[in-house]
Structure formats: C-alpha cells, structure tokens
A = this chain, B = another copy of it.
Amino acid sequence: MENQDQICKNACKVTCSENLAAVEDALYVISGKWKLKIIIVLQEMGNIRFNELQRLIPGISARVLSNELKDLELNGFVKRVVHAEQTPVVVEYISTDYSRTLKSVIISLSEWGKTHKRNIREDAF
C-alpha cells in the first residue's frame, strides 16, 4: 500500500525539521569564521590576553577579534577580566563553564577534520 510509504515519509519530514531547527539554533550562536576557534583557544589556554589571543588565531584582525569577543561575552561563552590596578591595563579573557558544554561538539568536529584531511591526502595521489 502506498499509504505506508506516505506515512513514513511524513514522519521523516517531522524528525527532519526538528533536527534542522536544533542545528540551526546551534549554528546561530557558534557559526562564523572565528567563533569556534576563539572558544577553542580560550579553553586550551585558560586565561589569555588580547594580543596573544590574536597571535594564536592566524589571520584574524583586531577589529574582528574585538567584535567576536563582545558577541561571545554576550552569549555567555567568554568572561572578560580587567586588571585596572596596573598600567598599562591588563585585560584577560577566560572561557566560561557554559562554553565547556561545547566540548563534545568541538571534539567531534576536530576528529572529523583530522580523518577528513587524511582522506583528502589519499585522494590526491
């Protein structure tokens, strides 16, 4: 019966759009050229200052880094700590607990990136 087929297809569409929505929600916050990279460096390095952060992320400009950090702070991924007692002022950025919930996303992404690179290499020869 064709009905079975239709029912199945429609069920697929539902779980499909649910998945789509979930991924969209995730991408809305962490997509973009730099966001995930910044989060990774912050998690790996603990506290870190603006200029060193910029040095560790090849290619990012100061303006863009500044904007991204504001965005990440607004969304609770980054904490900004100012040590005003010193001159010149020292500013440190620290990853929050919430940003650590992204751990599994980062891991699976970097795992996939590694094997993907290997596959590309093999194809090349």
> Which residues of A approach B to under 8 Å, CB–CB?
9, 12-13, 15-17, 19-27, 29, 31, 33, 36-37, 40-41, 44-46, 56-57, 98, 101-102, 104-117, 119
Please judge, given known A-B contacts A56-B17, A110-B19, whether A12 and B116 are in contact too, CB under 8 Å: no
With the chains together, A57 CA to B9 CA distance in Å? 16
Q: Are B109 and A23 in contact (CB under 8 A)?
A: yes
Dominant SS at the A interface? helix
Indicate how many identical chains form the complex.
2
Q: Are A56 and B109 in contact (CB under 8 A)?
A: no
With the chains together, A85 CA to B100 CA distance in Å? 53
Please judge, given known A-B contacts A12-B44, A25-B113, whether A20 and B108 are in contact too, CB under 8 Å: no
Contact residues in B for A112 (Cβ distance below 8 Å): 26, 101-102, 104-105
